[in-house]
Amino acid sequence: MLILLLILIASESSTAQEVEDEREFDYSENGEKGPAKWGEIKKEWSECSNGSMQSPIDLSNERVRLISDQDKKINYRAANATVKNRGHDIQIEWFGDGGSVVINGSDYPLRQAHWHSPSEHTIHGRSTDPNLQNKIYVLGVLYKIGKPDKFLSKFIPSIRSMIDKKDEEVAVGMIDATEINVHNKKYYRYMGSLTVPPCTQGVIWTINKKVRTVSMDQVKLLREAVHDYVEKNARPLQPENSRDIFICSPVDEI
């Protein structure tokens, strides 16, 4: 399965930024730069090995607590954007005001979105197809194989033009993240980390409970476009370490 991650950052703290140069790390299971070694590559990445609130995790229903929907307002708007081949994933980046998500009074402006395949988080141990702190908020959308995803379809020509072209960037005009249709009534919520170095903790994770569809051809293109020699760009599941995992639902459905 796939997951689309929308990254919203309340500040431009350097510790909150993902590493973009894929030559510094990779996803090979037994490689010197693979996930098991990330925490040893640089001291600034030590949380990848030593952190107690790392992501992704398994979102099994047996462990979650049901709570009422928290104060969350999604206010996206169209803004100029680009599609970029980062070498380990395909990213959409917004420039200017692409809107924000407001959670309990805190504003998280939209910065970028990217896909991971297979999805890093699992539900009952099952991966889905590619998904889109406390100063970082990550909104995840899970996919399974089925009909093509309309939002991803908008970028197919641009992605095809950058196959195996690391750092290739294409302007795609005004893009409104509202088209992703993330207004879901039920979602998972927990505290975790970035899923790539430096694995910064304190990230607010929200994963939509509803699983959408993406075509196999779309998933294959996302993997073919990046020149990373591996079959996936997803970090393995991390220990839960007794963290609270919530399912947020409207009050009248609890």
- Spell out where 10-98 has E strands: 65-68, 72-76, 79-85, 90-94
What pLDDT is recorded for position 97? 93
Q: Are 105 and 128 in contact (CB under 8 A)?
A: no
Domains of the chain (ranges, CATH numbers)? 2-231+243-253 (3.10.200.10)
Measure the CA–CA gap between 250 and 254, rounded to whole angstroms.
Answer: 7
pLDDT of residue 219: 92
Helix or strand holding residue 115 (H, E): strand 106-116
Residue 154 is encoded by which pair of tokens?
A: 């908008």
pLDDT value at position 192?
95
pLDDT score recorded for residue 230: 62
Give the residue numbers annotated as catalytic, written as ranges: 88
Q: Would you state the pLDDT for residue 133?
A: 39
Q: Which residue has the tokens 């504003």?
A: 107
Is 132 a residue whose pLDDT tops 60?
Answer: no
Percent of the chain with pLDDT over 70: 84
